[in-house]
Structure 1
Amino acid sequence: MLPVRRLLLLPLLLVLSLTACAERQKDASAESANTDGFPVELRPEGAPAITLEERPERIVSLSPATTETLYAVGAGDQVVAVDEMSTVPEEAPRTQMSGLNPDPEQLAGYDPDLVIVDSDTDGKLTEALDKAGIQTLVLPAPQTLESMYAQFELIGEATGHAEEGADLARRTREEIDKLVADVGDAGEGLDYYHELDPSYYTVTSATFIGQVYDLFGLTNIADQGDPSAHGGYPQLSAERILEADPDLIFLADTICCGQDADSVAERPGWGTLSAVQNGHVIELDDDIASRWTPRIVDFVRAVSDAVAQAA
């Protein structure tokens, strides 16, 4: 009976052996997935370089644009808290934390291994978090589209999603390039006014937003010979805008301030503007028109459509 019993046990032992081997391979693969690409040195434009020894598993984002990009590259599961202004995506763990005046003790309460901010001019936040064993990655607002693409890639590298970050940058670039190519030179000879709020604060072509309009060959009425004046964010007068009579008016104050084509037409004298009379007042989503995220494509599409209609 013993030989027969041994023969009956052989298949069972083989199955157990194969199962154990598969589990070891699975564990090894999981460990490899978590460590591939690390340690990684990150060199953000305009901010200090840092080295991450391991993939961060608990990330706090105090930058709405970065929050969107973290989810876009597939790192959403690693995000444990975001600031009060990070409204996209809806599932992001939004808190009452301020990205403008971050509290190191409040941040430490979320037990993060990485905190991402868009500014730390005096380095005090980084210093305080470093004492608590928490690394800080500063990602300033990009000044160009190329810098934005590079930031997508960097966020992918920082979170263990390098391929996804590179793919996001490539797809965003291709979509924008196609939207620009589709209208060709239709924007040449057209000028525009981009409104940040009803008190006529605007942008020049020296800003990130202005460079989007530059892609279409549009002329900015706010440049006035020096696009860099006032940091690229001057306040115009109603008289200056009426005198310029822009072909296109883009409203980036629809959510914050309730502005739309009708309210613009009701302003004293604005009903005579070409953009108003021709129906070329474009209502933008404030967030999309001000954040360097993958949704920038929606902003570019709105400009592309407006240019095509006005040509």
Structure 2
Amino acid sequence: MKRVLIAATAASALLLAGCGTSDENDKSSNPASSAAASFPVTVGTLTLGARPEKIVSLSPTATEMLFAIGAGSQVTAVDDQSNYPAEAPKTDLSGFKPNAEAIAAKDPDLVVLSGDADQIVAQLGKLKIPTLVSPAAGTLDDTYREIKDLGILTGHGAEANAVTDGMKAEIDQIVKSMPARAKPLTYYYELGPELYSATSKTFIGGVFNLFGMTNVADAADADGSKGGYPQLSAEALVKANPDTVFLADTKCCQQTAATVAARAGWSSITAVQKSQVYPLDDDIASRWGPRTVDLVRSVADAVSKVS
């Protein structure tokens, strides 16, 4: 399924030498304190001599980050999947099948990618186009680091710090507002009706870990060979009998509590019997940017309804 392949590809994006990355071992120099930050600045192996004014974002998450930190006016083109915010300059450029010539035609002074599909980093390197690989986050800390890296590179360091501080504060407040439970709730997180899911070792799983929840998909990828995105069998899922079900396939695949209840054998699942099947916004649920706060809030709202 395309959605799952996208998730898995993003999660395992290669970080090649010669491009900047937001890896946890990277050291960012020249911490920016405002939009008037001094240049040059360096993130990983990428150094920019001047503030970029023609940024091309081929990552929906990076697009959201750039606009959140106040660098939206510097973004001149985004990929065909970047649908938020509404004012993002959407084009037919693709982050999954990137075309170096099409990207170069936008005359960018910075390109932001979530992975190195088709060795695009090397291709852009030959064209002397500065490129940052900002891969799928594995943890919230990865998200905060990527936001700050973009802040440094765009001259919006102070704004980036404000965004991450705000996210941390909101998430902490949401989690602390939840009452303690004597027994952890179990959950199934659906990426698609083919029963692909995400384990507790993924970024999504980390969100649910904040609430002390137990992921029924973990057993399907106990050794990690599926990269945290296993496909469950209907039999195993019914047997696991999750207390709650979260649907991240409402837009792509039109899944609802009703379609889930109509699946063969699912009427016996606790989540279905107690009407504890919760739809999520596919886009918010599949990205790791500032709107992760909205995802945390959605999970909290759902959990608060479980008796």
Shorter-chain TM-score tier? 0.7 to 0.9
Structure with higher RCO (Cα < 8 A, 6+ apart):
2
**Residue of structure 1 equivalent to 2:50:** 54
Do the aligned residues in 2 keep the contact of 1:251 with 1:283 (CA within 8 Å)?
yes
What are the equivalent positions in structure 2 for 1:1-311 lying under 5 Å apart? 36-43=37-44, 49-120=45-116, 124-186=119-181, 188-224=183-219, 226=222, 228-311=224-307
How many angstroms does 1:121 deviate by? 6.5
How many angstroms does 1:72 deviate by? 0.4
- Give distance in 1, aligned partners of 2:53 and 2:246: 40
SS at match of 1:288: helix
Runs of 4+ in 1 over 3 A off after TM superposition: none
**Residue of structure 2 equivalent to 1:27:** none
**Residue of structure 1 equivalent to 2:14:** none
Structure 2: where are the runs of 5+ without partners?
A: 1-33
- Give distance in 2, aligned partners of 1:69 and 1:118: 12
TM-score (norm 2): 0.85
Aligned length: 273
Structure 1: where are the runs of 5+ without partners?
A: 1-32, 44-48
Larger Rg: 1
Q: Map Cα deviations across residues 52-94 of structure 1 (whole Å, 9 max, x no partner).
A: 1110000000000000110000111101111000011111111
Report the structure, 1 or 2, having the larger helix content.
Answer: 1
SS at match of 2:124: helix
Computed over aligned residues only, the root mean square deviation of the Cα atoms, in angstroms, reads 1.6
Do the aligned residues in 1 keep the contact of 2:284 with 2:295 (CA within 8 Å)?
yes
How many angstroms does 1:128 deviate by? 2.6
- Give distance in 2, aligned partners of 1:104 and 1:211: 35
| One-letter amino acid of the structure 1 residue matched with residue 41 of structure 2 | V
Identity %: 49
Which has the larger displacement, 268-277 or 144-153? 268-277
| Distance of aligned partners of 1:41 and 1:247 in 2 relative to their CA distance in 1, 3 Å threshold | same
| Distance of aligned partners of 1:52 and 1:187 in 2 relative to their CA distance in 1, 3 Å threshold | farther
How many angstroms does 1:34 deviate by? 6.6
